[in-house]
Structure 1
């Protein structure tokens, strides 16, 4: 399965990036690319930048896209929002299976991936067959939620991406 991890953390090589890669691999990605949005920086603000367009095309060509963000002001980051704005409404992520992933400092924002990030992905045309995953950023490496999530949802995601 060809996968891409889109990381909306303003810190390069972040825990968010690591968590997204762990999730993608656990879901069965054998070909994984990471798009660390901070590397695109100010190019995300305008329209028509070739590097941004190439990143959008790589997401659109993937079977599975993990959209990952730290919880920032009770939502996903503006960096991720700027990237998502590059996709056409309704069709920009058509044919892509998407999984929202967010990391946070405490359990108070556990529904953020499901309530805030997933609806945007659906609006852009992504197929989102599983709920979003929320992990504590201080414990994501040893978090049993990842194994539980994968046990429940990997068969569904693998079946849909194989179509």
Structure 2
């Protein structure tokens, strides 16, 4: 199983990236094969045909499992993540990819954001999301046990989906 983490935080090396990597490891028992810190793609995201962006899109689309993560920004996912997701073809850009939406925020007010805002975009791009999205508080995700709880609860559904596509 090829696992990729996609983090759409405007800050490189963010807590969002760390949380997504932790979730991928908890779901699979190993480090992800690929980590895409979207902000590192820079201005190539603003147009079409950038080689680094195309390679990141290709890597993501060829993955079995992708954890797609964003901080909650203006009550939704970030613009930098949107720019990356816009690079995928609608309907089949993430065909045969199992995706897990993950969002971090400062408080519980946006706890439904992964399912209401990020998951529909991933499904529109062709991904299968067999489990609910995960929302974490950015101040406590490292020690609150929610990543482990989520992985214990949903690992079977996620891994079963990745082996059936």
- TM-score, scaled to structure 2: 0.96
The answer to whether the Cα contact below 8 Å between 1:3 and 1:29 also exists between their aligned partners in 2 is: no
Task: Write the deviation string for residues 56-104 of structure 1: whole angstroms up to 9, x where unpaired.
Answer: 0000111100110000000000000000000001000000000000000
Q: Counterparts of 1:131-150 in structure 2 under 5 Å?
A: 131-150=132-151
Query: How many residues are aligned here?
Result: 163
Show the counterpart of 2:152. 151
Change (3 A) 1:54 1:29: farther
Deviation at residue 118 of structure 1 after TM alignment: 0.2
Q: Tell me by how many angstroms 1:146 deviates.
A: 1.3
Kept after mapping to 2: 8 A contact 1:27/1:150:
yes
State the match for 1:78 in structure 2.
79
Deviation by residue 1:119-146 (Cα, 9 ceiling, x = unmatched):
0000000000000000000001012221
Moved over 4 A (4+): none
TM norm structure 1: 0.97
Cα shift at 1:32: 2.4
Uncovered stretches (5+) of structure 1, i.e. residues with no partner: none
Give the unaligned 5+ runs of structure 2. none
The 2-side partners of 1:161 and 1:76 are apart by: 25
Q: Counterparts of 1:108 and 1:145 in 2: how far apart (Å)?
A: 17
CA contact (8 A) 1:64 1:96 kept: yes
Residues 5-24 of structure 1 aligned to structure 2 (within 5 Å): 5-24=5-24
Residue of structure 1 in register with 2:3 after alignment: 3
Structure 2 counterpart SS, 1:72: coil
Partner of 2:104: helix, strand, or coil? strand
| Post-superposition CA distance 1:18-73 (Å, at most 9, x none) | 00000001000644211001110111010111110000000011110011000000
SS at 1:135 equivalent: strand
